[in-house]
Amino acid sequence: MATSSVAPADDVPTRNARAASEASEGHGAAPKKRDALLDNAKFLLIVLVFVGHAIEPTTETRLAEALYFWIYLFHMPAFVLISGYLSRSFDGSGRRVDKLLTTVVAPYLVFWGIYALQSLSVGRDLPDGPLEPLWVTWFLAALFVWRLTVPLWNRLRWPFAVSVGVSFLGGLVATGDALGVSRILSLLPFFVAGLILEQRHFDMLKSGWVRAWSAVVVLVTAAMSYIYLEQVSREWVYWRESLLDRDVDLLPLGIPGRVVFLVLAFSLTAALLSLTPRRTTRFTRLGALTMYVYLLHGLVIRIAEQFGWYEFTSDHLGNHGSLAVNLALAVTLTFVLCAPWVRSATRWAVEPRVEWMLRPGRDSPATPARARG
C-alpha cells in the first residue's frame, strides 16, 4: 500500500526521497507510489496535534476543554497505528537500523536539546537527562523502541492479543520516566495493530455503511466529551502514567476505564481513516512533511506562551475569541511549517546529517559467523 515513512517521526522526504528517486532512476525502476489516504490522514492528524497544543492554554471555557479532550481521545493513537503500518518492513538489518538512527534517534537528541534550552530560558524544570523525553520528543523515543521490536511481533502467532496484555500489565506497575515507557506500553496495541493491517482492511472502510457509522462515532464522542467533561480526567487520554502511578483502583475503575479508552481510540481511528479522502488533494503532499510540523510546532507554542500571546488574546478577545483565533492560527501555521523556506532553514535539526557517524557497508544483516568461515 504505502511506502512512505511514518509521520511525524520518520517523514523526512526531502533528502531521502531525492536519493531514493535518483537510485530508482539509476536502476531503471519507477519510484514507489505514496498512498494518498495515509498522507491525507497524516496531515489531518498533524493539524489536530497542532490545534490540541495551541488551544490547551485556552481551555478555561467548556467548549475549548471539550474540543481538547476529544482530539486527545484518538489523535496520537491514530498516529501510532499509522506508524505501525508503515513500520512493517523493519527487519533489523543494518540498513534499517541506520535509518532508524538517522531519522529518529538523531532528531530526538537535537530537539531534546532545543526544547531543554527553551525550557531553561523560562525557568521550566528539566528531566534528569536525555533518556527522559521532553514534551513532544516522547513520540520519537517511543517509535525507536517500537521499531526495534517489529521482528518480535512478526514472529508471534497472536501479536495483537499479546500487545494488549502488555499494555494492561504496563498499567499495573510503576513505570518511571525513562524513554516515556508508560506511553510505550500503553499505546503498544495501536502500533501492533498497524503492523498486522493489510490493504483489505483499509478497503473495508470505504463502504457507505462504515462511513455512516464513522460519522455517528465522531458526533457521539464529541457530544460525550462535552457532556461528561467534569467526570473524566485528562490523564486517561494522555497515556503517560500507569494506573499505579495515578493511584487509580484497578476495579471498578482502572482496568474497565483503560478498556473503554482503548475502544474509543480504535473506533475514532477507524472513523478517521474511513472519512479521510482517498484521492489526491491539495494537502496530500504535505502528509510527507509532518515531521517538520511535529517537531517545530511546540517551539511556536512555547514562544507564544513566553511572550504572553495567550493572555493578550484572552484579554482583548475573550475566552471564546481566543479559542477561535488560536485554532485558526494553528491550522494556518501547519501549512507555514511545511513551506520550503521553513524546511530549508530547519533541515539541519529535523534531518541532521549524521551518516558520517555510521560504519559503511551495513546494507544487509550481518552474516553469521559460521557462514563467514
From the CA atom positions of the chain, what is the Rg in Å?
21
Alpha helices, H only, 86-229: 94-100, 106-121, 138-148, 150-155, 159-170, 181-186, 188-196, 199-204, 208-227
pLDDT score recorded for residue 17: 43
Q: Please give the pLDDT value at position 88.
A: 94
Q: Is the pLDDT of residue 370 over 50?
A: no
As a whole number of angstroms, the distance between CA 136 and CA 133 comes to 8
Q: What pLDDT does residue 243 have?
A: 86
For residue 369, pLDDT over 80 is answered with no
Q: Are 73 and 225 in contact (CB under 8 A)?
A: yes
**What are the pLDDT digits (tens) for 256-287?**
999 999 999 999 999 999 999 999 999 999 99
Beta carbons of 39 and 288 less than 8 angstroms apart: yes
Average model confidence (pLDDT) across the chain: 88
Q: For residues 173 and 323, which has the higher predicted lDDT (pLDDT)?
A: 323
Measured N-to-C along each axis, helices 138-148 and 62-85 cross at an angle, to the nearest 10 degrees, of 30
Residue 32 has what pLDDT?
A: 60
**pLDDT tier, 54 (very low <50, low <70, confident <90, very high otherwise):** very high
The residue that leads in pLDDT, 81 or 173, is: 81
pLDDT class for 27, splitting at 50, 70, 90? very low
Minimum mean pLDDT among 77-81, 169-173, 293-297: which range? Answer: 169-173
Query: Which grid coordinates belong to 109?
Result: 537528541
Higher-pLDDT residue of 308, 16: 308
Give residue-wise pLDDT tens across range 187-233.
999 999 999 999 999 999 999 999 999 999 999 999 999 999 889 99
83 or 367: whose pLDDT is higher? 83
- pLDDT score of 25: 36
Min mean pLDDT across 75-79, 94-98, 159-163 is at 94-98
Q: How confident is the model at residue 361 (pLDDT cuts 50, 70, 90)?
A: low
pLDDT > 90 fraction of the chain, expressed in percent and rounded: 72
Q: Cell for 155?
A: 514472529
Q: What is the DSSP letter of 182?
A: H
C-alpha dihedral (313, 316, 320, 325), degrees to nearest 10? -40
Q: Provide mean pLDDT across the span 56-83.
A: 95
